[in-house]
Structure formats: C-alpha cells, structure tokens
Structure 1
Amino acid sequence: MSGTLGVAVIGAGRMGADHVRRFGVTVGGARVVAVADPDGDRAKEVAASAEGASAHTDPAAALAAPGVGAVVIASPGPAHEEALLAALELDLPVLCEKPLTPDAAGALRVLEAEQRLGRRRIQVGFMRRYDAEYVRLKELLDAGGIGRPLFLHCRHRNASSPSFFTSGMLISDSVVHEVDAARWLLGQEVTAVSVLSPASSAGAPEGLRDPQLVLMETSGGAIVDVEVFVNCGFGYQVRCEAVGEAGSARIGEGRTMDVEAAGRRSEEIVQDFTVRFADAYDRQLRAWVAAAARGRVTGPDAWDGYAAAAVSEAGLTALRTGVRTPVEMAGRPPLYH
C-alpha cells in the first residue's frame, strides 16, 4: 500500500507476536512485511497473522526483505546488539524492546555505531513514557506542582515469574522500567544503587531472591525506592508515588471492575502487563511509526538504553555484594543532547 511503512519484526515470541498483532489491529500507517525467529515454525505462524509477510530464521534476511523500511526488535536481549548493528548499517529506524543490550559495554558499541551514522535511528521500548498516568505525573513534576521531588516510591509486582527468571533479572528485566521512568520523571541520572532482600517469599521458586528492595540515588538529590516482587501471587501492579517539598502524587491505582455478589464486594486485579499498559504500547507504536515515516526517531533513545544498562549493572553488583554501588557512565555524546 502506497505510503504505508513496511516493518520487519525480529523475534516472534510473546512481545514480537503482540507487536505484529497491534500493527494489524490498532496501529495505522504501517504493516508487517517480514518476521524473523530462530524457530522457523514460530516465525511462519506469526508471519501468517500478517497478510503477505514473509518468514525467516535469519534476522539479516528479514531486514533485506522487499518493502522493509523500519524494524522492531523483540528478540531476547543477548541478540539485540547484532540486530541493532545490522539495522544501523541499513540506516533503518528501529524500535528495540528493552534492554537495548544486556550490558553497558554492548550498549556503548551501539551508541558508537549510531554516532558514526550521524543521526538517531534507535528508539528503546520504555513504553511507560507513553502511559497516560505517567505522562500526567511527568507534566505535574515539570510544572513544579509538588515542589522539588524528594522521593519516588515505586511498586512493581507480578503474579508469577517465568521459569527461567533469575535473581538478577528482577533488576535487569523488571526494575529497569523503574530506572528509565525515574530518570525521565525527574530529569536526573541515577548515581548509586543499593539492594536489600528480605527472606524470599514462599511463593518464589527455590533459589530466587524475591522480593527485593532497590534503592537508587540521583544526581539531583532524590531517592527512588522500588519494591519488586515477581511472585506475589495475586496479580500485576505498577504504582508510583512522587513526594515533593510541597505535596505528593500517586499513579497506578486506577480502578478496575467492582463486583458485588453473594454478599461480597470484590475488585478485579489486572494479571498481565500487556493489559495494564495496552494503551501505552499502542501510543508508543503509533508515535514511532509516525516519526519513522518521516525519517525520524523520537522517544527514549539509545542513550537512555545505555543509561538503563549502566544502572542495571550497578544494581546487579549491589545485589551480589550487598554494598552500595556507584553507577559508572561514559560522557553523554552531543548526538543525544
């Protein structure tokens, strides 16, 4: 279709398949023309849900498919760097799911490649920046509505964790969203991280340190605390309270359906992040498509991905050692100012 952005989706797992569905149902101006996944049957299954899309086991083949003008990377984190570098070589706009790369060194290599290109091509999938409640909180803080921010109190809970989840992934795969949200909401960098762990919950798999309390210090003197609990058992919750010198504001407590029956009143609890942030994912994709169609990229950039990786590395060290760990970051290149 003339004027429609052709998109290659790398990774046909849960997130990749969800992106393909959104392009077909809720996001206009783009269509999926190629899908890649090491599991060929999975690639074919997901590609079949997008009319005319080709299926590949090699990401490079998907990027080279006819009609590809942009790429969504939704493969596991360790595969991101190779796909990102290939997309940059082709000068393609990219939406890359978090993490940009699992480690700060890999993220720096991606930054260097994008700087050689001389223009931004990468957006990182920190979708909370597109959530209506987070946007309102950002506007309030930017306007000084509660004075200088002193604390962000955050909760990040999942009903259960995947079988492959490790103690470190509570930070690198879950708290990384709070890392980016805190940097964005406050307009400050995270300078140090501490991690405290109570006795693990009886609902956590053996050996998993769950829950954890992650404390982050910022360049502006604020403190961010994150309770991350990925086997809470009852549902999915993401909440944030900002406390300032002149007030406070809370988000994430939006009410769902109330049920009154059999002498009881109950409220539905969302069970899944794709439900809680459904609108944010749609807004993110629409904004990315609109920018990519104009040859631009907006939203969280590769520097934001690098910063999140650097903070996560400090958090992993703090988890392992029990010691407050400073965040080590390179200087911010001019391209990302």
Structure 2
Amino acid sequence: MTLGVAVIGTGKMGGDHVRRIATAISGARVVAVADVDEDRARRTAADLDGCTVHTESASALAAPGVDAVLIASSGPAHEETLLQALALDLPVLCEKPLTPDATGAYRVVEAERRLGHRRIQVGFMRRFDAEYQQLKAVLDAGDLGRPRMLHQRHRNTVTPGHFTERMMITDSAVHEMDITRWLTGHEIAAVQVLKPAPASPQEVPDPQLVILETTGGVLADVELYRNTGFGDQVQCEAVCERGTARIGDGHAMVVQTAGRWGGAIDQDYLTRFRAAYDREVQAWVDATRAGRVTGPSAWDGYAAVAACEAGVQAQATGERVKVELADC
C-alpha cells in the first residue's frame, strides 16, 4: 500500500516535507495539502498528480485517499488539527511544538488516551540524526558511566523579524528540552535562564544561557544564539563519570590551503538536519504502513512544552522555575 498523506501547512517546513515525500522517501505520496494561503498551497501542489488543495485542515483530512496526516502549520493551529485527526483515527506526524501551551498539549494527550491506542508521533527530528543516535548508544552502553552534565549549543545564522525573545525558548530550546530527556531518560525538573547585559535597553539579549535540571540530577546547559551571522551550529557534549563524548563539530572535511585551514558551516537547519528529516519521515511512513506508531510520543511533546513554559517564565523573571507536569 502506498500511504496517502495530507500535509497541513505549506510554508518552509511543510513545503520541504512535500518535496521529501515526493522525491526522497518511499511508500507514500501527497494526496492533499492545506494552507490558509491558498495560492501558496496551489504552488506547492502544482507538480503533484491528483493532489487536492484546501484552505482548511478538516477538508484536507476528509479528502479522497488520505490515510495519514503530516502537520507542519503554525503551532497555534496544531491542537485543532490533531483533535480532528484523532476523531478520524488517522496516524499523525506533528511538527514541534505539539501545541504552544501545556494545557492544550495535555488535552491532546488525553484525547489520544481515550482513543485507546497511539496515533501521534511528534517531529523531534534530532532523535533521527546519526550523530545524536551514536551519542545515545554510547550513553546507553554505560562504558562512560552515568552522564552528569550536558553542554549544548544551538546557534542560528539569522532569525526572521517575527522571531521574538520567548521563541528562543519555544522554537529553539524546545529541541534541547526533548533531547535532554531522551539522552538521560529523565524529565526536566527546573529551568533557569541567564542573559548577558544588552548593548541597549531595546536590544534583546543574544546569546542566552539556559540551565536545565533533570529529575535524575543531571545538569544541562544550552547556549542559545539566534543571530550569529556565520551559520547554524548544533552541538552536544556529554560529561560522564568516566569520560566525555561530543557531537556536532562538523569536521567531516577540513581544507588546508594558502596558509589557512577550515571547512563549511551549514547556513540553515534544513541543510544541517536534512538526513535526519528524511529518516524521521521514512520511519513514520514505514511504521504507519505496518500499523504501528513509533518515535517521540504525544507525552514527549507535552513534556517538552511544559518545560518550555517554565523556560519562558524563567527568561522573563531571571528566577529558577520548576516544571509542572501532570501524572504520566
């Protein structure tokens, strides 16, 4: 069976997923797209045979041939589409965040629980990145002993004008919230955000330092640098009882010439994590065709959003803020 997928949202992320399903993975085809910008949706679907175009998610989910849904719309629209998909018992791959707020995310968790089986995979693509998988395997093997600290960097070349200070937490640090949970097997217990002095009262402090405490006693720091000007960098070093392990240095090739040495730095997250996105969507398609749901769960999405809520509060107040989680 070729899986018929409805893609909700055809912006930068959704458009890349449409390209991915059409050209980079097997076992699926895009049969419907939806976007509030109908012209953009039509441009996205122009080369897809038999793909219907919609301006509302409900009509796209009800379109002929839809077996599953990939949600790549803006975060505030996720909950409505997720609940629609669950009502139709459709498998879902939902880009982060699950929803923008923990209350809405928990409503989704509860709706899936009432359904009686998993239907949702959340799009935390770093879990499908080869380097992160290697680091996870090293930590799980236990040869280095227990992890005690994680040092992480999340740097962007430039962020768009609408990217607010709180989005440094909700749209950037959310990845570290999830990856810290995944690497350690612990929940995030508390968050603190430290900022350098801004050059002017109007300037958003950049970079910022996020400190995460886990329920198992691991400390994780995250440097968030939203406008480096030189490229996208994502790095992680695990400091363990008997050694350290580091990923993300990007030294696949080093060039030496004319008295200099160096290499290229990715300029965009879609380039840095292209292979991870491919593996993520392929794994989702394969599992869905086999009648299974794997990967990050709705609970993972909820736990990351709850940690981000604490992070936004910590960012605004400068205080250490505890993460409030419902019972699992």
Q: What TM-score bracket applies, with the shorter chain setting the length?
A: over 0.9
- Quote the Cα distance in structure 2 between the aligned partners of 1:193 and 1:266: 36
Identical pairs, percent: 62
TM-score (norm 2): 0.97
Task: Identify which range, 92-101 or 207-216, moves more after superposition.
Answer: 207-216
SS at structure 1 position matched to 2:236: strand
Q: Which runs of 5+ in 2 are unaligned?
A: none
Aligned to 2:133, what secondary structure does the other structure show? Answer: helix
CA distance in 1, matches of 2:231, 2:103: 35
From 108, 111, 114, give the equivalent of 1:113. 111
User: Quick one: which of 314, 320, 331 aligns to 2:316?
Assistant: 320
Counterpart-to-counterpart distance in 1, 2:3 and 2:71: 16
SS at match of 1:138: helix
Could you say which residue in structure 1 is the equivalent of 2:264?
268
Aligned to 1:335: none
1:293 aligns with 2:289: yes
Q: Name the structure 2 match of 1:243.
A: 239
RMSD: 1.4
The normalised TM-score by structure 1 is 0.95
Q: Which residue of 1 aligns with 2:326?
A: 330
Q: 1:88 aligns with which of 86, 89, 94?
A: 86
Using the alignment, how far apart are the partners of 1:244 and 1:70 within structure 2? 41
* SS of match in other structure, 2:205: coil
Per-residue deviation, residues 217-270 of structure 1 (Å, max 9, x unmatched): 001111000000010111000000000010000000132544445543331111
Aligned to 1:181: 179
* Aligned residue in 2 for 1:38: 36
1:136-285 aligned within 5 A? 136-200=134-198, 206-285=202-281
Secondary structure, counterpart of 1:96 in structure 2: strand
| 1:174–1:201 Cα change, 3 Å | farther
Q: Which residue identity lines up with residue 293 of structure 1 in the other structure? A: R
307, 311, 334: which one aligns with 2:303:
307
Q: Deviations over 1:297-316 (max 9, x none)?
A: 10000000000000000001
State how far apart, in whole Å, the 2-side matches of 1:290 and 1:201 are: 50
**Are residues 1:18 and 2:16 paired?**
yes
Change (3 A) 1:243 1:201: farther
Give 1:319's aligned amino acid. Answer: Q
Alpha-carbon distance, 1:50 to partner: 2.3
2:203, 2:39 → 1: CA distance? Answer: 34
Tell me the CA shift for residue 206 of structure 1: 5.0
Cα deviations by residue, 1:177-207 (Å, 9 ceiling, x for unpaired): 00100000000011000000112479xx954
Matched residue, 2:66: 68
CA contact (8 A) 1:36 1:59 kept: yes
Greater mean alpha carbon deviation, residues 243-252 or residues 191-200: 191-200
SS at match of 1:173: helix
Q: Distance in 2 between matches of 1:298 and 1:207?
A: 42
Which one is further off, 127-136 or 47-56? 47-56
- For the 8 Å contact 2:45–2:53, the answer to whether it is kept is yes
**8 Å contact 1:193–1:324 — kept in the other structure?**
yes
Output the amino acid matched with 1:33. V
The whole-number CA distance in structure 1 between the counterparts of 2:198 and 2:64 is 51
List runs of 5+ in structure 1 lacking aligned partners: 333-337
Q: SS of the counterpart of 1:32? A: strand
Q: Indicate the SS of the match to 1:232.
A: coil
Structure 1 178/262 Cα, relative in aligned 2: closer, same or farther at 3 Å? same
